[in-house]
Structure 1
Amino acid sequence: MSNNKKTWPRKLRSQEWYGGTSRDAIYHRGWLKNQGYPNDVFDGRPVIGIMNTWSDLTPCNGHLRELAEKVKAGVWEAGGFPVEVPAFSASENTFRPTAMMFRNLAAMSIEEQMRGQPIDGAVLMVGCDKTTPSLLMAAASTDLPSIVVTGGPMLNGYFHGERVGSGTHLWKFSEAVKAGDMSQEDFLEAEQSMSRSTGTCNTMGTASSMASMAEALGMALSGNAAIPAVDSRRRVIAQLSGRRIVDMVKDDLKPSDILTKDAFENAIRTNGAIGGSTNALIHMLALAGRLDVDVTLDDWDRCGRDVPTLVNLMPSGDYLMEEFFYAGGLPVVLRALGEAGLLHKDALTVSGHSIWEDVKHAQNHNEDVIRPVDKPLTPQGGIAVLRGNLAPDGAVLKPSAASKHLLRHRGRAVVFEDIDDYKAKINDDALDIDETCVMVLKNCGPKGYPGMSEVGNMGLPPKVLKKGITDMVRISDARMSGTAYGTVVLHTAPEAASGGPLAVVQNGDMIELDVEARHLHLDISEAELQARLDAWVPPPGVSGGGYAWLHQEHVEGADTGADLDFLKGCRGAPVARDSH
């Protein structure tokens, strides 16, 4: 627990709105009473904001309205007053140019909802990729007691007897069509198999990775991450979370009490053990920045480097989230890390107990899905942080999703100046490229795209695919979907649009990748590199006003989380002056 906690009962923040008999209190209470609430719900019980990212255009979160009813039931049972609040919902599968550009806008809007309204604690109802980090970032900035409830993954997909992972098989089948190994008709038939129930991606993509990060950080009840969206136990944990947030308010248990450096190191190691998304890194760096917790790229490399990947899930392995849940879910992984000396066991969680107390009795029911530490899927998982003259501020690669024979590679650069240039050239058989080349994509970072889209896992050219080649080294300042796979170097910083060395790579340059040595090198002289940088001309920025302009003006680099510079740090949730 935090130090200097106030004993219960105490005056709650919401009572500044609803308490007493003043004109202002009657104004606030009176309007809300038009919903039919009796007098005693305003008598000092905790007001819990259920921050709900449900939207018809966020299909991963399409069931959160029903799930919120279970949260409300739990809040009422514990003596709280639940109020459901629509929250900005950025979906990766609908937002253009990319949902990532709106993660910071969502965090900013939700932060101000939490700060400006009469709530004492919050239930963060999340699912799709960007909703989890945006609501966590908002909670960290306000430091109101908060608990995460994720919507859960969708059920396994099957097509022609094969497990189909949402996202992962989209990339796989798309490449198969280009290679002539799959018909367009079969591809269209497989579409429904990829998403056969409500919920997030059923692979260890970004959504499942971020649900696991929330649990490993201690911000969700134990077991929350893996329960399928349509499983009745998902509704049970939602109701239990509604009960728990009321007690968290009474105990004054805040995000800053839970989200410590130890908690972040637990989550980093967990991401390696689950084969988690590279996107988790960028979201966690942004979250740490909201709390002024010193977490850097080097922490990701240091903590994740020697962590074995235990979870045998796509895109790194064979299974899907359903099997992960049946095998015991994240508590089994956390227990294994604890027994291997890779977990800060005393880290506090929203349960009020240490993380070890929550997971020490977890049982592994399928050792092919969750491997023992001595029989891992990959001996060294985690996310490799690469540096060199091509990425002086760092770049990242996911070894568990890469081809082993490409982890040390030297090849000729084939350059695409932006995503439109890539799309215009990639299917042309006249393109001078073979499987030994290194594909380089520029101007797709936080400023360049703008927003840093998931285009880093560039599809291979058809003439290479037709040889039976399924992977090449690819380098960009973009992100890639957590459901994707391949030897893909991402988040190269500084990005091309900011004048990083990536901006001046030319066709024919030789590039050296050595993942074991954590090295990424452009094989030209220092003088030549500097001359190119001196001659570089910045691309035109976003014209006019609006959020796109604001984002491009203030977004920071991928190496620190791509947050807006003026949103970093915890600003708290003071009671604003009443205007009435």
Structure 2
Amino acid sequence: MTQDKNQDKRRKYSAPVVDGIGKSASRAMLRAVGFTDEDFKKPQIGIASTWSNLTPCNMHINQLAEESAAGADEAGGKSLIFNTITISDGIANGTEGMKYSLVSREVIADSIETVAGCEGFDGLVAIGGCDKNMPGCMMGLARLNRPSVFVYGGTIMPGENHTDIISVFEAVGSHARGDLDLIEVKQIEETAIPGPGSCGGMYTANTMASAIEAMGMSLPGSSAQNAVSDTKAADCRGAGTAVLNLLEKDIKPSDIMTRKAFENAITVVIALGGSTNAVLHLLAMASTIGVDLELEDFVEIGKRVPVLADLRPSGHYMMSELVAIGGIQPLMKMLLDHGLLHGDCLTVTGQTIAENLADVAPYPEGQDIIHAFDNPIKADSHLRILFGNLAPTGAVAKITGKEGTHFTGRARVFHSEEEAQERILDGTVVAGDVLVIRYEGPKGGPGMREMLSPTSAIMGKGLGSDVALITDGRFSGGSHGFVVGHITPEAAEGGPIALVEDGDTVTIDAVSNRIELDVSGEELERRRQAWQAPPPRFTRGTLAKYSRTVSSASKGAVTDLP
């Protein structure tokens, strides 16, 4: 790329630094942070780092950001590292603090847009390592629509005795059941998280990393690398280099994040048995980039895509073990060869999916992490989009088939996660119950908390096959069992879930994709007339602003719809 072209690219976004009345002041400011005369002739590459010492998912990302910066500099750019926030779901789950989790996705997107929009970066690398900062990064990149690459911070290694963060949550339920004493719970707690990296199963972080790679916004292999490894460092350096190539070719996120690319992402998420949160985040990312994606699209794609990966939480293996046999690239090659991926989609390499996969070797013989097409874990999608009189605009379930495909039980209604958790642990909840946890939606929570503590307590108590849980909140990628979330409209907006009463019969059918309340239309209307919206739980601050602006979960729970 010639120097003149470099400057042409820069003028599109950062004219005040290059020419005009702000030239001298801008140069003076940048000299103070290390710019030389030569640097002013180079494209500026912003490196959005989600580093924080709050969580193991992000504690190493400052080092990865430096690698990406070095790659951009070596390729002829001038890098500038900036930070955005992150929170820890693992720490906040089961507390009031979890209300800020999904909110943080919007704050992260806002902050990346704000910094890059103000500073006029020509290209961007965003490095995320946890559930919300990954889609938050992607939404920020999509809003800016400048040449960009996303980098995943990488997966954690297993803890002692093949444990992870979900082992800790489920140990609490096992203790309540009497199967573990406090010393055993403490031993699991002390050893389950051995160092840096995102939660080790096919939970939300690894699911979203895989989806983003399948979409073409990460370099091949980025989603399946250990957090602390030479391959991850090389991935980061390569991302910095790749942005300069994208800048030269004028390839932007809107060229990559197409309708077909989102279909590829959904396909890979299903094949991996990924998190229900992928539905929420992919809807949000599509909305941001201007792609028409709806809940029904997950239904249609799910009819033809099998679950092939035997990964936690419902399976046996961890992401680090998938990394050891080749990551998701061989899986993508399998899907492409079976006509389930769009091979013509453009990626951040400047090549198509098919070109990237051309020389990918198959998985080693004898591995049983990724099943063959003639021996799937499940013949169609585990992500079930349910409709019915309880969810007129949709709900999302993760049903692998191990917990069955049909559940009918009596409603036991709770107005918060904490209420439900207490009744599970004290033995009030029994086989045959359908736990209804409401007023936990995007507006009502606010923030749409994950129900990881209740679902883990149910599993730990040995009730995973005997109790169902439905909510207008959502679930951790580590949740499993007969669970249905994202019920819309949510209770705070007067959705039917607000009208359920203790003892009502609820039926969940993951074959016909229905969720029904066995109450007549006349009775529901009577209850609706008597229902009153609860007052907002927050009237000032971040949560209040979020509650006032957030859209339905069926639309991705975004805050910037026109």
| Same fold? TM cut 0.5 | yes
**Structure 1 position 32 matched with structure 2 position 30:** yes
Q: Which residue of 1 aligns with 2:420?
A: 422
Q: Which residue of 1 aligns with 2:331?
A: 333
Normalising to structure 2: TM-score of the pair?
Answer: 0.94
Q: Which residue of 2 aligns with 1:110?
A: 112
Letter aligned with residue 478 of structure 1:
G
Q: CA-to-partner distance for each residue in 1:280-335, whole Å, 9 max, x for gaps?
A: 11011011111221100000111123311112111121111111111111111111
- How far residue 357 of structure 1 moved from its aligned partner, in angstroms, is 1.1
Q: CA-to-partner distance for each residue in 1:332-355, whole Å, 9 max, x for gaps?
A: 111111111110110111111111
Provide the C-alpha distance between the structure 1 equivalents of 2:298 and 2:177, rounded to a whole number of angstroms. Answer: 36
Q: Which residue of 1 aligns with 2:51?
A: 54
Deviates more, 1:364-373 or 1:194-203: 364-373
- How far residue 458 of structure 1 moved from its aligned partner, in angstroms, is 2.1
Q: CA contact under 8 A between 2:49 and 2:82: conserved in structure 1?
A: yes
Where in structure 2 are there 5+ consecutive unaligned residues?
none
Q: Which residue of 1 aligns with 2:397?
A: 397
Q: Which residue of 2 aligns with 1:450?
A: 446
Q: CA contact under 8 A between 1:8 and 1:251: conserved in structure 2?
A: no
Deviates more, 1:127-136 or 1:301-310: 301-310
Provide the C-alpha distance between the structure 2 equivalents of 1:247 and 1:398, rounded to a whole number of angstroms. Answer: 39
Q: Which residue of 1 aligns with 2:432?
A: 436
Distance 1:456 1:15, change over 3 A: closer
What are the residue-to-residue correspondences of 1:253-264 with 2, within 5 Å? 253-264=251-262
Q: CA-to-partner distance for each residue in 1:161-183, whole Å, 9 max, x for gaps?
A: xx21x233123322211111111
What are the residue-to-residue correspondences of 1:507-518 with 2, within 5 Å? 507-518=502-513
Provide the C-alpha distance between the structure 2 equivalents of 1:16 and 1:287, rounded to a whole number of angstroms. Answer: 29
- How far residue 491 of structure 1 moved from its aligned partner, in angstroms, is 0.6
Q: CA contact under 8 A between 1:209 and 1:280: conserved in structure 2?
A: yes
Q: Which residue of 1 aligns with 2:468?
A: 473
- How far residue 193 of structure 1 moved from its aligned partner, in angstroms, is 2.4
Provide the C-alpha distance between the structure 1 equivalents of 2:103 and 2:466, rounded to a whole number of angstroms. Answer: 28
Q: Which residue of 2 aligns with 1:378?
A: 378
Q: CA contact under 8 A between 1:48 and 1:121: conserved in structure 2?
A: yes
Identity of aligned residues (%): 35
Provide the C-alpha distance between the structure 1 equivalents of 2:277 and 2:382, rounded to a whole number of angstroms. Answer: 12
Q: Which residue of 2 aligns with 1:279?
A: 277
Q: Which residue of 1 aligns with 2:556?
A: 561
**Structure 1 position 552 matched with structure 2 position 551:** no
Q: Which residue of 2 aligns with 1:576?
A: none
What are the residue-to-residue correspondences of 1:89-488 with 2, within 5 Å? 89-94=86-91, 96=97, 97-159=99-161, 163-164=162-163, 166-363=164-361, 364-365=363-364, 367-400=367-400, 403-405=402-404, 407-429=405-427, 431=428, 433-455=429-451, 458-459=454-455, 471-488=466-483
Provide the C-alpha distance between the structure 1 equivalents of 2:102 and 2:86, rounded to a whole number of angstroms. Answer: 11
Q: CA contact under 8 A between 1:440 and 1:475: conserved in structure 2?
A: yes
Letter aligned with residue 254 of structure 2:
S
- What is the root-mean-square deviation in Å for CA atoms of aligned residues? 2.0
Q: CA contact under 8 A between 2:49 and 2:84: conserved in structure 1?
A: yes
Q: Which residue of 2 aligns with 1:572?
A: none
Provide the C-alpha distance between the structure 2 equivalents of 1:409 and 1:54, rounded to a whole number of angstroms. Answer: 43
Q: CA contact under 8 A between 1:327 and 1:370: conserved in structure 2?
A: no
Q: CA contact under 8 A between 2:430 and 2:467: conserved in structure 1?
A: no
Q: Which residue of 2 aligns with 1:69?
A: 66
**Structure 1 position 498 matched with structure 2 position 493:** yes
Q: CA-to-partner distance for each residue in 1:127-184, whole Å, 9 max, x for gaps?
A: 111001001101111111110011100112222xxx21x2331233222111111111
Q: CA contact under 8 A between 2:456 and 2:479: conserved in structure 1?
A: no
Letter aligned with residue 556 of structure 2:
G
- How far residue 76 of structure 1 moved from its aligned partner, in angstroms, is 1.2
Distance 1:177 1:360, change over 3 A: farther
Provide the C-alpha distance between the structure 2 equivalents of 1:11 and 1:222, rounded to a whole number of angstroms. Answer: 26
Provide the C-alpha distance between the structure 1 equivalents of 2:403 and 2:461, rounded to a whole number of angstroms. Answer: 21
Distance 1:325 1:191, change over 3 A: same
Q: CA contact under 8 A between 1:53 and 1:61: conserved in structure 2?
A: yes
SS in 1 for 2:151: strand
- How far residue 473 of structure 1 moved from its aligned partner, in angstroms, is 1.2
Where in structure 1 are there 5+ consecutive unaligned residues?
1-5, 570-580
Q: CA-to-partner distance for each residue in 1:234-262, whole Å, 9 max, x for gaps?
A: 00111111111111112111110000000
Distance 1:457 1:23, change over 3 A: same
Deviates more, 1:487-496 or 1:175-184: 175-184
Distance 1:226 1:449, change over 3 A: same
- How far residue 471 of structure 1 moved from its aligned partner, in angstroms, is 4.8
Q: CA contact under 8 A between 2:176 and 2:425: conserved in structure 1?
A: no
Residues paired across the two proteins, number: 551
Distance 1:454 1:409, change over 3 A: same
Q: CA contact under 8 A between 2:256 and 2:348: conserved in structure 1?
A: yes
Q: CA contact under 8 A between 2:403 and 2:481: conserved in structure 1?
A: no
Provide the C-alpha distance between the structure 2 equivalents of 1:107 and 1:269, rounded to a whole number of angstroms. Answer: 25
Distance 1:438 1:36, change over 3 A: closer
**Structure 1 position 41 matched with structure 2 position 39:** yes
Provide the C-alpha distance between the structure 1 equivalents of 2:346 and 2:175, rounded to a whole number of angstroms. Answer: 49
Provide the C-alpha distance between the structure 2 equivalents of 1:355 and 1:177, rounded to a whole number of angstroms. Answer: 47
Letter aligned with residue 31 of structure 1:
M
Q: CA contact under 8 A between 2:48 and 2:127: conserved in structure 1?
A: yes
